[in-house]
Structure 1
Amino acid sequence: MMADRRPLFELHILPMFRALDAIHMLRLPPAKRVDLSSYDDLKNKHQDVLDFLNAASPMPPKSHGGPWPKEWIDLFTRWKTTGFGRLIKPAGSNFDLALTGPDRFTLSCDVLLPDGSASAWFSIIQATADAQVYEIVLEQPDGNPPAPTTITIEERLRGPLTTNEVVVLDSAGRHALGIPTS
């Protein structure tokens, strides 16, 4: 039997909250107000949110798409019991955007993982005619890391790309890669 995956804020918790939920929670009196898009606020006010979800008249109300299913509440609870996990933004190196075929590109970089059980990937932030923006994210499983290891991560892009560059964000900042033509 596979063990339950550790819930992570960006992958499992944040997507459960809709824009409507966030607006409603920001309209509460200051003592009960929660910014549902903020890791720190949601972590610090986890019990308040759980109380809203489990109240006799739970939030969100049925008239606004609620209440949450038990599985979601269990996941939100497990997020706390597993240590409020979140993705890490590591540093990349050797950034490259290569033309691999007509209107086909491969974005790549090297990432130092704290150990071989960690994983990293490109997460797309914005994909419009004006901008292609990615960030590098890393998931670190629980436990003591045995030894660091460097891997190369890749993302395949299909064009035509109408922007002048592809941007990658990492812990060191912003890296702009020009679009290759040959």
Structure 2
Amino acid sequence: MADTTPYFELHIRPMFRPIDREHMRSRFDLWNYDAVKSNAANILTAVNQPAAFAMPTKAFGGPWPQGWVDVFQKWVNLGCPRLALSKGTYDVDRLADASVRLSVSVSLTNGAEDAWIDKGTSAQGTAEYTVYLRPAPNGEVKPPRTHNMVEELTSDVTIVALVDVDGRQEFPVPPAIA
């Protein structure tokens, strides 16, 4: 991680488990970028306590390993970087077995960049994804390329929502063929 820039979506949010999120929800949401950024100093204080007092407590998984604390500190020192949103072309199909396939294609003008979709919290019947772009590491430049991603969804999905640089878009899933 020495030369890697830590990003909230890739490196910081995954350190907060669902149980951590639930325990802190009355104060702020550990999976929300703005909340974590504005509470970063308090989080650092909590995770830097001696083991007997550190958060999370031993009863709930124990304190963070020093490597995690170091990554969080680096993230704070770098100004709390986060990923940019990207834009792709999207296709939603119902397959013969009634499952749903989401296909996303992102054109990268710099082939050293990377893109992916991240599944978010979804309401019943809706699958929600965010389309992210990770900048090229260390200013690296490669020829343009297209990055294709496919996600298989369960048959109960009726709407696929994608959040990209243009906002939230909803795609109705075609009905199952009887």
Q: Which residue of 2 aligns with 1:37?
A: 31
User: Shift of residue 152 of structure 1?
Assistant: 4.2
Distance 1:64 1:152, change over 3 A: closer
Tell whether the 8 Å contact from 1:104 to 1:156 is kept in structure 2 after alignment: no
Q: Which residue of 2 aligns with 1:68?
A: 64
Deviations 1:145-179 (Å, cap 9, x if unpaired)?
647835242223154x2343322221212333332
User: Map of 1:29-108 to 2, 5 A cutoff?
Assistant: 36-56=30-50, 57-93=53-89, 95-99=90-94, 101-108=96-103
Max Rg structure: 1
Aligned residues: 171
User: Shift of residue 7 of structure 1?
Assistant: 2.3
Q: Which residue of 2 aligns with 1:122?
A: 117
Deviates more, 1:75-84 or 1:134-143: 75-84
Q: Secondary structure at the match of 1:176?
A: strand
Aligned equivalents of 2:100 and 2:111: distance in 1?
Answer: 27
User: Shift of residue 60 of structure 1?
Assistant: 3.3
Equivalent position amino acid for 1:9 in 2: F
> Please, which runs of 5 or more residues in structure 2 have no aligned partner?
none
Aligned equivalents of 1:108 and 1:152: distance in 2?
Answer: 11
TM-score (ref. length: structure 1): 0.70
Identity percentage of aligned residues: 30
Tell whether the 8 Å contact from 1:113 to 1:150 is kept in structure 2 after alignment: yes
TM-score (ref. length: structure 2): 0.71
Q: Which residue of 2 aligns with 1:176?
A: 170
Q: Secondary structure at the match of 1:103?
A: coil
Tell whether the 8 Å contact from 2:112 to 2:142 is kept in structure 1 after alignment: no
Aligned equivalents of 1:178 and 1:60: distance in 2?
Answer: 41
Q: Compute the RMSD of aligned alpha carbons.
A: 3.3
